[in-house]
């Protein structure tokens, strides 16, 4: 008999079969439910203890962690070493508890690698989210609303929104709020708000001394009503076939073609001229669609027809006729290329002739959506086959609509509401108009000038300019100085490339761009530089951190002014061949017209005035004056130019009055006037400017309706066009310059975002 032998040892293997198969002692395929339970129709296939169906064995640790985070976490809460789940450890059978098999080591390595990959992907996701997500809106506590109320300047609000970014840098954005309108950072009112100290100084003296300034402004308002009524037709104004004599019409068409059409392509010139010539020789009457289009061309051409805009009344009537016809409720027949061309011309005409009181930003938005509804935002290559001329005209019109929409955004301080992802239409090809009449035309080389060259060069800067407009006017955008410098660098690089291209045109032996084209392009780019740095200009006058913005704004303002008035005293030292001819279309376009280019002249004047005032207030030297003489020359020239605008038919004297007041302030600082003398000096300047305007406007009003009184004018104004709004919004709101009763005084400054001070 054997001794010392213990009981038989049993192998302790984990149970892998379900309870039913173990009890029956049959092979289990370890599914859930298993095959045996399926055959026996057993609804509950249960695995006891640590038995796990194979369906779960292939599930990754990450998937189990998602379904049961308490039991299957990727790491313990205390940051210690992570534990391999029990089902994985038990599946790695080992004959020794003190060692791990190769399979166990491989599984642990895979788990650790998976966790490392997940951590890396999470970090990348956080970084990408922070970069791509829009900047958060400020909390209500971060908004500081500054309200200024006075009898002279009125009541307006400046919303100073601020927040702190990830680098603990304070960033801000200012919004000017007036009545029911909100003006973004690119609106000229941002610069105008820096002059409120001028009016606050003289307000108490005006009320106490019964200054003639208030009565003078009221008189200018009444005269403006009379002059406006004389040249405003009744509404509606159905279009007629009446045209000016052919000699005048020919010159008006030529004025349009050599100015606006060179930069904003709307017409196919050979086709337009063919229809225009047939108009004078054919016995059959022209189509109403072409007549409307022609009258809009004549109205825009009338701006540069002569130095005094003698055809203003006719231009107003032509615009009214076109607007009446295009306002027909039957919309579908107007969805064609010819009517779209007329809508573009109507937008340009209303803005440049100052017909209508609504913002061009609103009208440009409607025009943009009309074009998108017609599919112009898609490139013709993505649409059904069409001729080359049809495809190129669609590209040209879309390119012009993009420019007008962006131009209205930067001028009115409204968000562009458009991104480069909203369209795929390519820029117009480098064709001359005559080429499009041939079969299978081939575009000219990029270094060869054509009738679309300027539009193509502007399009190259469109992404940068659109980004600037969004940066300044979007609701969730905040003006960080780093981003401002980044946009400045990008736009400056694009502009240098354009300058090289234009110099290549001039050095060749073919055609070259006209002075109007190059000056318009120069004006547009430097206008964007002014707007881009405007949010930091006031700070730059006190903080040298933003000295670069101060330098860019002043240099760009001077260049904007010289682009409009190259014959200015600033350009006296320019070479003879760079001086303009006697007929200067660009100067006439600003002096007689309105809108974007007039706004630029006002912005340039404001920045130069602020710079001179800051230099005088900061001066503490006993030596010679260090001031730039070109800035003083611009200041002197500005008063002359603003008076020219009044002589050309401008009924709003506020641009001339503002330049007079601030010029008087600069002169007073130079003379060292004391606190008591300063307000009287400003009052005298204001009263003299008003008296000059009254004398001129009385003569102008006498040329129309003799003996017409204000009651008659009000009766006529009742027949004004509905789209023109209230007379107080479109007339020279001179009585709103001061507070007459319950009238909002700030209307003298912010009466219409589509018309700057002198409009």
Q: Do 220 and 693 form a contact (C-beta atoms < 8 A)? A: yes
718 contacts: CB under 8 Å, gap ≥ 6: none
Q: Which of 64-78, 271-285, 440-454 has the lowest mean pLDDT?
A: 64-78
pLDDT > 60? residue 385: yes
Give the whole-number percent of the chain exceeding pLDDT 70.
Answer: 71
Residue 417 falls in which region: left (phi positive, over 0), alpha (psi -120 to 50) or beta: left
SS (H, E, C) 456-474: HHHHHCHHHHHHHHHHHHC
Residue 734 has pLDDT above 50, yes or no: no
Query: Between 429 and 661, where is the model more confident?
Result: 429
Task: Quickly state the pLDDT bin for 508 (edges 50, 70, 90).
Answer: low
How far is Cα 293 from Cα 276, in angstroms, rounded to an integer?
10
Contact between 733 and 751 (Cβ < 8 Å): yes
* DSSP codes joined into one string, 130-173: HHHSPPPPPPGGGEEEEEEEETTTEEEEEEEEEEE-TTS-EEEE
Per-residue pLDDT at 518 exceeds 70:
yes
Contact (CB, 8 A) for 732 and 751: no
Q: With cut-offs at 50, 70 and 90, classify the pLDDT of residue 588.
A: very high
Predicted local confidence at residue 124, as pLDDT: 73
Rounded mean pLDDT, 256-266: 97
Under the banding of pLDDT at 50, 70 and 90, the label for residue 568 is confident
**Model pLDDT, residue 200:** 79
State how far the alpha carbon of 352 is from the alpha carbons of 362, 405, 583, in Å.
Answer: 16, 15, 19
pLDDT in tens, 310-342: 999 999 999 999 999 999 888 778 899 999 999
Backbone dihedral angles phi then psi of residue 61, each to the nearest 5 degrees: -65, -35
**pLDDT band with cut points at 50, 70 and 90 for residue 178:** low
**pLDDT band at residue 59, thresholds of 50, 70 and 90?**
very low
Specify the 3-state DSSP secondary structure of 183.
strand
- The reported pLDDT for the residue numbered 669 is 87
Q: What's the rounded Cα separation, in Å, for the pair 231 and 254?
A: 24
- Low-confidence winner among 227-241, 355-369, 466-480, 571-585 (lowest mean pLDDT): 571-585
Confidence of residue 89 (pLDDT cuts 50, 70, 90): very low
Alpha-carbon radius of gyration of the chain: 37
The pLDDT assigned to 758 comes to 33
Task: Note whether 547 and 594 are within 8 A (CB).
Answer: no
The CA distance from 503 to 501, in Å, is 5
Nearest to 570, CA basis, from 629, 518, 519, 612:
629
pLDDT digits (tens, 9 = 90+) for 524-538: 999 999 999 998 998
> Residue 339: its pLDDT value, please?
96
Quickly tell me which residue has 């101060």 as its tokens. 550
- Which pLDDT tens digit goes with each residue over 611-659? 998 888 887 655 556 667 888 889 889 989 999 999 999 998 888 888 8
Mean pLDDT, residues 217-231: 89
> What percentage of the chain reaches a pLDDT higher than 90?
46
What is the DSSP pairing of strand 143-150 with strand 170-178? unpaired
Q: Residue 172's Cα: distance from chain center in Å?
A: 18
pLDDT at residue 510 in the model = 77
Q: What is the pLDDT of residues 636-645, one digit of tens each?
A: 899 899 999 9
Is the pLDDT reported for residue 347 higher than 80?
yes
108-to-53, 69, 70, 74, 706 alpha-carbon distances in Å: 21, 19, 20, 12, 102
Taking the C-alpha atoms of residue 744 and residue 178, their distance in angstroms, rounded to an integer, is 10
Q: What count of other Cβ atoms lies within 10 Å of the Cβ of residue 574? A: 14
Average pLDDT over residues 590-610: 93
At 465 the pLDDT is 98
Averaged confidence pLDDT in the chain = 78
* Band (731; pLDDT cuts 50, 70, 90): very low
Peptide bond into 236 cis (omega under 30): yes
- Structure-model confidence comparison of residues 231 and 392, the more confident one: 392
Tokens of 432: 């001359």
* 62-76, 383-397, 712-726: range with highest mean pLDDT: 383-397
Query: And the tokens for 302?
Result: 């009338």
Q: Which of 21, 208, 349, 660 is nearest to 31 (CA)?
A: 21
Could you read off the pLDDT of 413-434 as tens digits, one per residue? 899 999 999 999 999 999 999 9
**What is the average pLDDT across 201-211?**
73
Which residues pair with residue 479 across a beta bridge? 172
How much is the pTM?
0.75
What is the pLDDT confidence band of residue 727, given thresholds at 50, 70 and 90?
very low
Which of 191-205, 243-257, 477-491 is predicted least confidently? Answer: 191-205
DSSP state of 25: T
* Stretch among 150-164, 188-202, 736-750 having the lowest mean pLDDT: 736-750
Which stretch of DSSP H or E encloses residue 88? helix 86-91
Classify the phi-psi angles of 715: left when phi > 0, otherwise alpha if psi is within -120 to 50, otherwise beta: alpha
Helix, coil or strand: residue 21: helix
What is the predicted pLDDT for the residue at 179? 63
Q: Would you state the structure tokens that stand for residue 398, as one six-digit string?
A: 């879309």
Spatial contact of 717 and 224, defined as CB atoms under 8 Å apart: no
The structure tokens listed for 456 are 């193509």
What is the predicted pLDDT for the residue at 751? 38
């Amino acid at each position: 008999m054997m001794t010392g032998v213990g009981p038989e040892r049993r192998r302790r293997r984990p149970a892998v079969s379900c309870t039913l198969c173990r009890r029956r002692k049959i092979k289990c395929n370890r599914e859930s439910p298993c095959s045996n339970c399926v055959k026996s129709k057993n609804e509950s296939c249960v695995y006891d203890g640590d038995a796990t169906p194979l369906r779960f064995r292939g599930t990754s640790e990450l998937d189990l962690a998602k379904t049961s985070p308490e039991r299957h976490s990727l790491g313990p809460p205390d940051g210690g070493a992570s534990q391999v789940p029990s089902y994985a450890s038990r599946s790695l059978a080992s004959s020794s508890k003190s060692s791990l098999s190769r399979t166990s080591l491989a599984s642990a390595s895979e788990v650790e690698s998976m966790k490392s990959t997940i951590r890396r992907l999470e970090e990348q996701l956080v970084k990408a989210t922070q970069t791509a997500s829009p900047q958060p809106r400020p909390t209500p506590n971060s908004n500081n609303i500054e309200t200024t109320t006075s009898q002279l300047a009125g009541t307006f609000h400046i919303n100073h929104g601020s927040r702190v970014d990830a680098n603990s840098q304070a960033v801000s954005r200012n919004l000017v709020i007036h009545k029911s309108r909100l003006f973004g950072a690119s609106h000229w009112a941002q610069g105008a708000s820096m002059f409120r100290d001028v009016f606050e100084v003289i307000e108490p003296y005006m009320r106490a001394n019964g200054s003639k300034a208030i009565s003078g402004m009221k008189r200018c308002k009444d005269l403006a009503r009379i002059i406006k009524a004389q040249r405003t037709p009744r509404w509606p104004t159905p279009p007629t076939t009446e045209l000016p004599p052919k000699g005048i019409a020919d010159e008006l068409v030529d004025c349009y073609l050599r100015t606006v059409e060179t930069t904003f392509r709307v017409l196919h010139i050979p086709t337009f001229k063919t229809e225009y010539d047939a108009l004078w020789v054919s016995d059959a009457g022209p189509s109403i669609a072409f007549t409307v289009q022609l009258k809009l061309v004549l109205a825009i051409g009338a701006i540069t027809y002569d130095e005094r805009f003698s055809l203003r009344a006719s231009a107003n009537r032509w615009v009214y006729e076109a607007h009446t016809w295009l306002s027909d409720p039957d919309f579908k027949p107007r969805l064609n290329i010819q009517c779209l061309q007329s809508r573009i011309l109507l937008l340009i005409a209303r803005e440049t002739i100052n017909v209508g009181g609504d913002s061009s930003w609103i009208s440009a938005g409607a025009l943009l959506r009309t074009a998108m509804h017609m599919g112009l935002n898609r490139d013709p290559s993505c649409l059904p086959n069409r001729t080359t001329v049809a495809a190129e005209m669609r590209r040209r019109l879309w390119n012009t609509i993009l420019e007008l929409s962006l131009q209205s955004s930067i001028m009115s301080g409204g968000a562009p509401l458009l991104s480069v992802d909203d369209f795929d239409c390519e820029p117009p090809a480098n064709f001359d108009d005559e080429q499009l009449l041939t079969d299978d035309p081939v575009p000219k080389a990029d270094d060869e000038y054509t009738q679309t060259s300027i539009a193509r060069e502007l399009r190259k800067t469109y992404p940068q300019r659109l980004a600037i407009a969004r940066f300044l006017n979007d609701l969730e955008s905040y003006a960080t100085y780093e981003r401002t410098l980044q946009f400045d660098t990008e736009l400056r690089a694009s502009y240098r490339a354009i300058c090289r291209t234009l110099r290549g045109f001039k050095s060749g032996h073919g055609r070259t761009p006209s002075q109007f084209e190059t000056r318009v392009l120069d004006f547009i780019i430097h206008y964007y530089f002014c707007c881009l740095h405007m949010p930091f200009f006031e700070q730059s006058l006190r903080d040298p951190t933003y000295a670069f913005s101060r330098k860019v704004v002043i240099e760009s303002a001077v260049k904007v002014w010289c682009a409009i008035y190259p014959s200015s005293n600033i350009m006296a030292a320019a070479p003879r061949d760079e001086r303009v001819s006697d007929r200067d279309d660009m100067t006439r376009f600003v002096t007689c017209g309105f809108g974007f280019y007039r706004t630029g002249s006002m912005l340039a004047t404001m920045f130069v005035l602020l710079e001179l005032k800051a230099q005088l207030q900061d001066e503490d030297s006993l030596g010679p004056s260090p001031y730039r003489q070109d800035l003083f020359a611009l200041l002197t020239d500005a008063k002359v130019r603003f008076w020219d605008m009044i002589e050309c038919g401008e009924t709003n004297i506020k641009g001339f009055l503002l330049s007079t007041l601030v010029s008087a302030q600069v002169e007073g600082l130079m003379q060292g006037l004391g606190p008591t003398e300063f307000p009287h000096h400003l009052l005298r300047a204001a009263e003299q400017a008003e008296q000059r305007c009254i004398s001129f406007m009385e003569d102008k009003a006498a040329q129309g309706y003799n003996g017409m009184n204000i009651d008659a004018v009000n009766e006529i104004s009742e027949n004004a066009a509905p789209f023109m709004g209230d007379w107080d919004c479109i007339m020279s709101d001179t009585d709103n310059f001061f507070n007459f009763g319950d009238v909002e005084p700030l209307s003298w400054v912010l009466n219409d975002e589509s018309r700057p001070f002198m409009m």
